């Protein structure tokens, strides 16, 4: 089973004035920490809400320092359970983002398309049959050339 795991990270950013600037710096900083080892992790702006349900910007700024909420998405392959996938994602990302708090937001099971596998097998069988037909055509011509 393959799973898509979304992990939330709280990235500290220093010397910023606006939430947009904080988000850009946090994404850049996170990308540097993850690359090149985890270049397949997608970095997205996180979302925050107040206790009353009001949407808030993903960065909280105080005294020119910010804490930015980012969502890191990765696909984990060949796992037995969703819990296993979330542990793998937290471990892989957590090793690169030292001292950054992480929380698993979502684990989605990815459906494997059996139809595509069947089509691929059918196309391979068709290609093999074409090759056999071609080989039958080639042999008589070759024999004609020898005669």
Strands 65-76 and 59-62: what pairing? antiparallel
**pLDDT over 60 at 39, yes or no:** yes
Q: Which residue has the higher pLDDT, 103 or 131?
A: 103
- pLDDT confidence band for 48 (50 / 70 / 90): confident
pLDDT at residue 138, rounded to an integer: 52
- pLDDT confidence band for 72 (50 / 70 / 90): very high
How far is residue 68's CA from residue 28's CA, in Å, rounded to a whole number? 12
Instruction: With CA atoms as reference, report the closest residue to 42 among 31, 33, 29.
Output: 31
**pLDDT over 50 at 120, yes or no:** no
pLDDT at residue 27, rounded to an integer: 94
CA distances to 13, 41, 129, 146 from 9, rounded to whole Å, are 12, 13, 53, 73
How far is residue 3's CA from residue 86's CA, in Å, rounded to a whole number? 9
The secondary structure element, H or E, covering residue 120 is helix 114-146
Strands 59-62 and 102-110: what pairing? unpaired
pLDDT at residue 106, rounded to an integer: 93
- pLDDT confidence band for 38 (50 / 70 / 90): confident
How far is residue 95's CA from residue 110's CA, in Å, rounded to a whole number? 25
**pLDDT over 70 at 32, yes or no:** yes
pLDDT at residue 47, rounded to an integer: 84
Instruction: With CA atoms as reference, report the closest residue to 4 among 69, 67, 71, 75.
Output: 75
Mean pLDDT score of the chain, rounded to an integer?
83
Lowest-confidence region among 9-13, 20-24, 53-57, 72-76: 53-57
Instruction: With CA atoms as reference, report the closest residue to 38 among 89, 4, 85, 108.
Output: 89
């Amino acid at each position: 089973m393959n799973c898509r795991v979304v992990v939330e990270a709280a990235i500290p950013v220093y010397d910023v004035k606006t939430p947009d600037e904080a988000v850009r710096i946090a994404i850049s900083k996170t990308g540097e920490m993850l690359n090149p080892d985890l270049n397949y992790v997608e970095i997205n702006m996180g979302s925050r809400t107040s206790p009353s349900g009001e949407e808030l910007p993903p960065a909280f700024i105080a005294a020119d320092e910010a804490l930015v909420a980012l969502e890191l998405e990765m696909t984990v392959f060949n796992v037995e359970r969703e819990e296993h996938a979330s542990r793998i994602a937290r471990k892989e990302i957590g090793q690169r983002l030292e001292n950054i708090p992480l929380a698993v937001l979502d684990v989605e099971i990815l459906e494997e398309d059996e139809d595509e596998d069947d089509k691929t097998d059918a196309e391979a069988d068709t290609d093999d049959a074409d090759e056999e037909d071609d080989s039958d055509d080639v042999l008589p011509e070759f024999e004609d050339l020898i005669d």
